[in-house]
Structure 1
Amino acid sequence: MGDASQRRTSRASSGGPVSELGEFGVIDRIVAGRPQPDGTLLGPGDDAAVVAAPDGRVVATVDTLVQGVHFRLDWSAPEQVGRKAVAANLADVAAMGAVPTGLLLSLACPASTSTDVVEGLAAGIWDAASEVGVGVVGGDTVSADQIVVTITALGDLEGREPVRRSGAKVGHVVAVCGVLGWSAAGMEVLRRGFRSPLAMVAAHRTPRPPIAAGPIAARAGASAMIDTSDGLLADLAHVAEASRVRIDIRSELVPVADKLRDVASALGGDALRWALTGGEDHSLVACFPDEDAVPEGWTVFADCRLGIGVTVDADRWGGAGDPGWRHWR
């Protein structure tokens, strides 16, 4: 991690390019002085970290944000990008019914990247991590032609079985916790050159997944769960395929917020389409044996039937465009 004199020198060079700090100076900016929770038994400074695993099993997931693909610095501040990177990973941990225990960060960027950008990314990452009681326990820094932020998140099942995508059964109900279509609406607002309404723009810049709702759903008996990273239809298709069921969405039950309808009306968009196909909300969608098992704060909008796939009002989705995000499309 570098010696103390190197760290003092690196702190004195704020605002310059990362090339002036070097690898260890950048690492220092990211981790120095940040408190670690009790579950971090050994944090940054050695070849690897040591994180407590009370359950004896570790939930692990990784997600990457690439500049120009997942974020633009003319649309989002570095702090917001850092938060977004953490949100995408914590939602995956929550979707397994687990509680987060630690994060690993890999940061790639050009040598000309301002240290202010790095510090902003780090601040956003640490703020989002601290809100759920975890720390950044280690990682890596490398040079690249553009900024790439990769987060690995670890989680603990607390003695429960993981909630997989394959557990839904015919007759089970499907519910969502969190917003639908807000990030897509926010991206459209930004694409049009606007910066409001703030709620939609914020949902795109810094999604706020209901992390605590994942373990709660698991305790309530959720049979399958996923987060809405690529869009409701696209992500439910994974559940339907893995569970060998047909998930039928009732469009009148999909929680389309009035604010979303207002934005769609102003921009000539389709609020229901955003809710069904817009990604990066990272809300949680879960299947439950019946409505009585659905926890407070969840909204039932679909059920599981015979067949395979996803339908809307018993028909295949007929909306314009492909239902959800896919890379290399």
Structure 2
Amino acid sequence: AEDTSGNIKTVVVYVYVTEPSLNVTVNLTAPSEVELTEDNGTVTTTSTEIKFYANASGKVNIIINASTNISLLEPNISNENFYSNASYYGLVGLNKFIKIDVSGAVNETNNVSWVVIKIHYTYPGDLDRNGDGDANDVGDINENDLVLMRYCPATQTWQPVRGSSITCGNDTIQIYTPSTVNTSQHYVWVNVSHFSVYGLGGSIIQAQTPSSVSSSGGEYQPKVTILANNIDLSLAKEFISYLEQNGIKVYITDKNNFSIYNEKSYVIILGGHEAYEGIGEIVSNIMTEEERNNVKQGKMMIKKRDIYRSGQVVYILAGKDREATAQVWKENKEEIMKVIKYNWG
């Protein structure tokens, strides 16, 4: 489809995005708003929509590749890689991926103000994990918790589009609207500053226990928040699995969302005052100069109390590099697990 009227500010191209590819050329007059959307009410396994605003003039080529197999879009990524990254955030994958490439007059670094991305899902089909025709059972995917995840080539990891921004290498992706679910039309959408590769994830509906139904029973539930950058997190798979296998609920967070999770009774921070992706900024505020010097020279486990709330225990597991940081949790994982599991404080 091509818009040839140079004085139209809004270009709407109706398309039906299916595997494997859609290639559209539009002719823009700055400023322009471009929308690519499906042309009927049918939703396929990979249907999606994008809309962006660019202060640009000239021809723009827009390519959207959609697939249930991420390897068809990015050969160096697998669905298993997506599942692994999603699990760090308590999510599972729905096998819906899109890759958006824009070339020509539009450059997202200089002249794209915002990008709206929507991925549709079928209800209850995509969320019904036990095949009984609904999405309300334990083990099904919670519709209200669906989230888009963005692939970061710099770290080769996936990040949920939440909060106000996410960091990818040296780039900061602004999030104007975080992952939002439209439960009536069954799609998840975001408004961000960059195109890229996106996938759809969600959380599992969990069984309620007596202690989770009512907090008045007083039964202790071991929980811990882990704050880390993508590199340290990718090296901590064994540590996270070890905690979960011992009955500890693990919440994974980054700098942007730390304030949501920093009041848990137990917090583990992976990395020291020089850690990437903003972790170092947080840690610097609670480390002494002596502790910083010790970490810079080698590695250490630091145990702090009452940092973000009264009665709280915060572990800083840090080393002079990523391997040293990983070595700290390997050497101390059993002690940390027991303290959290049995609430020894």
| TM-score, normalised by the number of residues in structure 2 | 0.30
Kindly name which structure, 1 or 2, has the bigger radius of gyration based on alpha carbons. 2
**More helix, by proportion:** 1
| TM-score, normalised by the number of residues in structure 1 | 0.31
